[in-house]
Amino acid sequence: MAKAPRILISGGGTGGHIYPALSIANELRAQYPDAHFLFVGARDRMEMDRVPKAGYEIIGLNIAGFQRSLSRRNLAFPFKLVDSMIKARKIVKDFKPDVAIGTGGYASGPTLWAAQKAGVPTLIQEQNSYPGITNKLLAKSVDKICVAYEGLEKYFPKEKIVFTGNPVRVDLFDVSDKKQEAVEYFGLQPGMKTLLVIGGSLGARAINEHLTQRLVELSAVQGQLIWQCGKLYEDQCRRAAKEFDNVQVHPFLERMDLAFAAADFIVSRAGAGTLSELALVGKPVLLIPSPNVAEDHQKKNALALVEKNAAMMVEEHSWTDGSLTGWTLGEVLNDQKLQRRLSENIVKLAKPNATKDIVEEIKNLIHRGS
């Protein structure tokens, strides 16, 4: 009987790195029930909470990202990096993994580097259309690179690339079958068009501030709004919405599957994981990329969809005097031709088998090393 594989996974810093790592781990656990898992994250980052809640052990490295602007925190970066590399080598030596997987983020650099030095087969999963610096540095030495966008041979060795797509949550499959459940769950008016606005898990200040100026317009076009505003902005958004019966304010949406099912049109940030979910859901979407991310990767992600007529996009800097160039609520909620075109094109980009395809590549590496 083959021994249970030992699987080392590193990724974190943001949900965009953590959730793909957990999706991959869950699929591997389903196929290898006796497998041993160990996550490596960045100390004091969100993975140190989310990963144990998902049922996995995690070790934290004392690592943080390099600030692109002048910052005193950069003075400590070389020392933290060296310390993390030493600790990562000890983790690899003690755990003895059969494969190491990186999904991006601060900790994955030292972890995958240490695994490579120990001769462990390695795979990285790049979520974005423009890769992060960690994955670009690792790419020359890893065995496989799973990507979600075409054209990444500009940054990675072509022979290592496998076009798999990004892992998505299983509860987002077939959300169209949950429309009635969604209407009841949110207490919506069945015959009224529904706009869903999602600003990421922390919320988006600029989107929230702009939307507060558009609530009267929403009433005028007979629409209703599910507004995920983030915990930090909950009080001010509730104050803005208190006079509007057709507006629901939520700091966080526990049932994203039902939120997607309820929506006729979606306004969203352009994180890679979110875009993969939107493609699977197949709803028309207006993307507002966050300008506050490394390498402006959300804009690059959004443009990859816009170029395929699969989404609309507007940048925050185009907002002037409370207006948003090229976008009216009447247009997005009532233009059936626009909605149909966007839906038909975005669903073509869906990769529902992404997690299974990534796991197949990992299994090949496990068997190769055994």
| Shared-domain flag, residues 112 and 239 | no
- The number of distinct structural domains making up the chain is 2
With a cut of 90, say whether residue 4 has pLDDT above it: yes
The 10s digit of each residue's pLDDT in 32-91 is: 999 999 999 988 878 888 899 999 999 999 886 555 555 555 556 566 778 889 999 999
The residue that leads in pLDDT, 1 or 286, is 286
The predicted structure's pLDDT at residue 223: 86
In terms of C-beta density within 10 A (0-12 exposed, 13-18 middle, 19 or more buried), how is residue 136 classed? middle
| Shared-domain flag, residues 328 and 206 | yes
The residue that leads in pLDDT, 220 or 101, is 101
The span from the CA of 147 to the CA of 127, in Å, is 6
In terms of C-beta density within 10 A (0-12 exposed, 13-18 middle, 19 or more buried), how is residue 343 classed? middle
| Shared-domain flag, residues 187 and 98 | no
| Shared-domain flag, residues 301 and 234 | yes
| Shared-domain flag, residues 107 and 212 | no
In a domain, 115, yes or no: yes
Rounded (5°) CA angle 301-304-309:
130
The predicted structure's pLDDT at residue 321: 46
In a domain, 1, yes or no: no
The 10s digit of each residue's pLDDT in 285-330 is: 999 998 877 678 899 999 999 999 999 998 887 765 444 545 567 7
199 band by pLDDT with thresholds 50, 70 and 90: confident
Q: Specify which residues 267 forms β-bridges with.
A: 197, 286
Secondary structure (H, E, C), 134-163: HHHHHCCCCCEEEECCCCHHHCCCHHHEEE
Spatial CA neighbour of 106 closest among 128, 130, 77: 77
The 10s digit of each residue's pLDDT in 254-276 is: 899 999 999 999 999 998 889 99
In a domain, 275, yes or no: yes
| Shared-domain flag, residues 226 and 135 | no
φ, ψ of residue 61 to 5 degrees: the values are -100, 150
Collect all residues with Cβ–Cβ distance below 8 Å to 69 and sequence separation of at least 6. Answer: none
| Shared-domain flag, residues 139 and 243 | no
In a domain, 152, yes or no: yes
Least trusted range by pLDDT, from 126-135, 267-276, 289-298, 353-362: 289-298
CB–CB of 226/248 below 8 Å? yes
In terms of C-beta density within 10 A (0-12 exposed, 13-18 middle, 19 or more buried), how is residue 181 classed? middle
**What string of DSSP letters covers 155-191?**
TS-GGGEEE------GGGTTGGGGHHHHHHHHT--TT
| Shared-domain flag, residues 211 and 293 | yes
Which string of b and e fits 222-254 if b means at least 16 CB within 10 Å? ebbbbbbbbeebbeebeebbeeeebbbbbbebe
Token pair belonging to 80:
């933290």
The predicted structure's pLDDT at residue 173: 85
From first CA to last CA, the distance across the chain in angstroms is 13
The span from the CA of 12 to the CA of 75, in Å, is 22
The predicted structure's pLDDT at residue 319: 62
Q: What average pLDDT does the chain have?
A: 88
| Shared-domain flag, residues 19 and 161 | yes
Judging by DSSP bridges, how do beta strands 319-320 and 323-324 pair with one another?
A: antiparallel
The predicted structure's pLDDT at residue 55: 95
Sign of CA dihedral 272, 276, 281, 285: positive
209 band by pLDDT with thresholds 50, 70 and 90: confident
In a domain, 130, yes or no: yes
In a domain, 269, yes or no: yes
The residue that leads in pLDDT, 95 or 78, is 95
CATH number, domain containing residue 282: 3.40.50.2000
The predicted structure's pLDDT at residue 90: 98
In a domain, 203, yes or no: yes
The predicted structure's pLDDT at residue 184: 97
| Shared-domain flag, residues 48 and 154 | yes
Q: Give the H or E element holding residue 318.
A: none
Q: Residue 323's domain spans which residues?
A: 171-347
| Shared-domain flag, residues 291 and 239 | yes
The 10s digit of each residue's pLDDT in 298-307 is: 999 999 999 9
| Shared-domain flag, residues 163 and 23 | yes
Q: Which amino acid, residue 32?
A: Y
Give mean pLDDT, residues 104-127: 95
Q: In what order do the strands lie in the sheet with 312-313?
A: 247-250, 223-228, 193-198, 265-268, 285-287, 312-313
